[in-house]
Structure 1
Amino acid sequence: MSKALTSFLGENLADLKDKGLYNIIDPVEGPNGPIIKIGGRELINLSSNNYLGLATDSRLKEVGKQAIDQYGVGAGAVRTINGTMDVHLKLEETIATFKGTEAAIAYQSGFNCNMAAISAVMDKHDAILSDELNHASIIDGCRLSKAKIIRFNHSDMEDLRKKAKEAKESGLYNKLMVITDGVFSMDGDIAKLPEIVEIAEEFDLITYVDDAHGSGVLGKGAGTVKHFGLSDKVDFQIGTLSKAIGVVGGYVAGKSDLIDWLKVRSRPFLFSTALTPADVVACTRAIELLMESTELHDRLWENGNYLKAGLKALGFDIGVSETPITPCIIGDEKLTQTFSQRLNEEGVYAKSIVFPTVPKGTGRVRNMPTAAHTKDMLDQAISIYEKVGKELGILA
């Protein structure tokens, strides 16, 4: 290794560890369910995005096994050569029905969606109005497009309107787009989509909603856009197949012409091997289950509200979450890391989230209750939170 690289890595890794910003990855020994095993110990799992418990659902496992026997373990090619199988088309048709759009396109991940879709439509002659707390994949997708990035204050509609008006009246840009997360994953708050759509219609903005944490959670499962009844008003609906859906992948849903364009111009679609058949079939079955019943969705919300009430009653700062995402905001990065570690030692796996994922001084442990948790599990977790919170002086 070169001396320059050795010096760079050594100095910067040491700095991260000193500031409490170094992330340790804990391998899970077995399935990622409400209880996980790490280092031979069983822990109540409050750090998974597996909102509906579908990652370990027997119905999805069964169709996945059948797909492997019928189609093999891989698609064998990119979608535009001969990697598109009939199961891919069925998945995309199912997504479009689920999201209330004309068509949909599936990608290998939600991150890929934002890298693909933004840069396929926006370029250096355009501008993008982006919420300051948008996900890293949106930020990277905007940068890749080479469009002018205009950040607006988080969910500040006056600031968005002001900056949209300035951009429109400047005459500098061919197209304008407004991008927002549907649900913001660190705080659990919901985008003000009705106001955003109103501003977009006034200034002819392309509307783009990344609903990674809203699909399966809001709108009786169909997502944030459906929650507000705006399926015919939002141009791009982005989602993952790896969170509430429980498998892997991502998608863009919208008008047929938009999806056709992404199939011929979005680079991850053109240059990455297609999703595996087993994953595709499992995703399709998961979405079908959500369209057939709201049972899992309802249980998720019941558990989320129960955990929120318990932690708030103890005196924890749980922020402004409007969804099952439940942050316990600690502040100091080192104390946040210590808090998370002590929870782990007592039997709760709740990962610390610190800078650069969240702003400095706003470190938190983010709890992600799921439909698969029982009340007994949540009661145990709340009891452990109380013990550790008092021990570290976070609670009185």
Structure 2
Amino acid sequence: YYTVTVQYITVNAPAYHLILEGILILWIIRLLFSKTYKLHETYKLTEKEKEDLIEEWQPEPLVPVVSKDPPFLNYDVVTGPPSYQITINGKKCVNFASFNFLGLLDNERVKQKALASLKKYGVGTCGPRGFYGTFDVHLELESRLAKFMKTEEAIIYSYGFATIASAIPAYSKRGDIIFVDEAACFSIQKGLQASRSLIKYFKHNDMEDLERLLKEQELEDQKNPRKARVTRKFIVVEGLYINTADVCPLPELVQLKYKYKVRIFLEESMSFGVLGEHGRGVTEHFGINIDDIDLISANMENALASIGGFCCGRSFVIDHQRLSGQGYCFSASLPPMLAAAAIEALNIMEEDPDIFAVLKEKCKHVYKALQGIPGLKLVGIPFAPALHLQLQRSSGSRDCDMQLLRTIVDYCLERGVALTLARYLEKEERFPPPPSIRVVVTIEHTEEDVQKALSYIQEAASAILK
């Protein structure tokens, strides 16, 4: 019977089966009879040889070698509050450098509320929100922010940078897709990196380029509808871009959201407390229903003159961050005195909405004044509170351009006008912006201040950019 079965298999089996089986049998025979590999005898070092080798060994540097006096470590030291007037390196200056847009940093009402909170709660919290770090003043601030922004709920973070950097990876994971503007700020970029999602960049404020990417993704989804059903897609933009000082085309973005079924995350650190009749940001500026935006984030370190940040939106969206927002779950909560200061700043914003119109007019005035400076190009829109002055003609070297602009900043500083260079981590930035001087406008600046700054910037540009 066995002989018949073998003969039957041999006759009926395909030829390639027989060849494959023959090769496997030969390989097994070779393995069985091949010689085992033997390690060569190792040479044992003497104690003296070991000591010599250890002495000769040089470890690789932990970080790149820098010069003894690197320019980025030469800090300008501030003494006193960085408000309308600022003292830098012992010299009193008009402040065109701090993001104190509404002039609330040194406001007496805000300081008194912070001081009363300091006496009541102490300096800090020494614990995250989930571990005895939630104070009644935190809950009050979240409630007030949600009410101010006309959303269901808000969540606060103790560090502005960590707000959007924590929010993005809380929702978008590996396998999801994020469409991002090339001019997105560094905190957004770190959030993208932490999410491990597929990132697709579109040209700055170019809705045609964004729609091209969305159409391409739609075609990909049609090829694999099963995967498309579980893949989340997001658009991440800034309301008012810190690196370009221009506003996002939000109405067109909302149209694309519904057309291609994606979610919108809106970062409003530069537009919150600045744009809109009541300072609610770019949604109010364009008259967009805030419910059309899936998540809004902003820091409280600019218009509110406090520390930290917040996200707001629908309750089920915000509550998810309380369990998965890394900056919320693992950082000590916001010091109560800073939360109290932010609440009082909101009170002032609600009591006097005219301050937003005043700020807008000041921005337009400074924008007009800064045009036509020889050798410098003004970047931004008329109602942006933080504008950029870039070189009209680059030297071809980023370091040289930075040095030229630094010389202009130093020239103005010596004469009592505080400006600042826009700083970037060039090796970390996906699309590093050109070097620039940042000029920040606040409601406290007078016509005399603006003319003084303009005069010295023009003098410096004429002397240095020949």
TM-score of the superposed pair, with normalisation by structure 1: 0.92
Report the equivalent of 1:203: 260
Report the equivalent of 1:5: 61
- Does residue 228 (structure 1) correspond to residue 289 (structure 2)? The answer is no
Contact 1:212 1:243 (C-alpha < 8 Å) held by counterparts:
yes
Contact 1:333 1:361 (C-alpha < 8 Å) held by counterparts:
no
Report the equivalent of 2:13: none
Partner AA of 1:337 in structure 2: R
Report the equivalent of 2:318: 259
Which whole-Å deviations, capped at 9, do the CAs of 1:95-146 have from their partners, x for residues lacking one? 1111121100000122111222111111012010010110111011011011
Q: Aligned-pair distance for 1:258?
A: 0.7
Report the equivalent of 1:325: 386
TM-score of the superposed pair, with normalisation by structure 2: 0.79
- Does residue 338 (structure 1) correspond to residue 407 (structure 2)? The answer is yes
Report the equivalent of 1:113: 163
Q: Aligned equivalents of 1:151 and 1:192: distance in 2? A: 16
Q: Aligned-pair distance for 1:320?
A: 3.5
Report the equivalent of 1:29: 79
Cα gap change, 1:290 to 1:129, in 2 (>3 Å): same
Contact 1:99 1:226 (C-alpha < 8 Å) held by counterparts:
no
Correspondences of 1:236-385 after superposition (within 5 Å): 236-315=295-374, 316-322=376-382, 323-330=384-391, 331=394, 332-353=401-422, 356=425, 362-385=434-457
Cα gap change, 1:304 to 1:16, in 2 (>3 Å): farther
Q: How many residues in Structure 1 have an aligned counterpart in Structure 2?
A: 387
Q: Aligned-pair distance for 1:391?
A: 1.3
Given candidates 218, 237, 241, the residue that maps to 1:180 is 237
Q: Aligned-pair distance for 1:361?
A: 8.2
Cα gap change, 1:296 to 1:264, in 2 (>3 Å): same
Cα gap change, 1:125 to 1:16, in 2 (>3 Å): farther
In structure 1, runs of 5+ residues without a counterpart are: none
- Does residue 218 (structure 1) correspond to residue 218 (structure 2)? The answer is no
Q: Aligned-pair distance for 1:347?
A: 2.0
Q: Aligned-pair distance for 1:354?
A: 5.6
Q: Aligned equivalents of 2:324 and 2:203: distance in 1? A: 31
CA-based RMSD of the aligned residues comes to 2.1
Q: Aligned equivalents of 1:54 and 1:3: distance in 2? A: 51
Contact 2:141 2:342 (C-alpha < 8 Å) held by counterparts:
yes
Q: Aligned equivalents of 1:341 and 1:324: distance in 2? A: 22
Cα gap change, 1:275 to 1:354, in 2 (>3 Å): closer
Q: Aligned equivalents of 1:152 and 1:16: distance in 2? A: 39
Q: Aligned equivalents of 2:111 and 2:217: distance in 1? A: 49
Q: Aligned equivalents of 1:98 and 1:393: distance in 2? A: 46
Q: Aligned equivalents of 1:203 and 1:256: distance in 2? A: 24
- Does residue 68 (structure 1) correspond to residue 125 (structure 2)? The answer is no
Q: Aligned equivalents of 2:422 and 2:332: distance in 1? A: 32
Correspondences of 1:52-91 after superposition (within 5 Å): 52-91=102-141
> For 2:151, what is the secondary structure of its paired residue?
coil
Cα gap change, 1:115 to 1:311, in 2 (>3 Å): closer
Q: Aligned-pair distance for 1:393?
A: 3.1
Q: Max radius of gyration: which structure?
A: 2
Correspondences of 1:150-169 after superposition (within 5 Å): 150-169=200-219
Q: Aligned equivalents of 1:139 and 1:107: distance in 2? A: 18
In structure 2, runs of 5+ residues without a counterpart are: 1-57, 222-226, 395-400
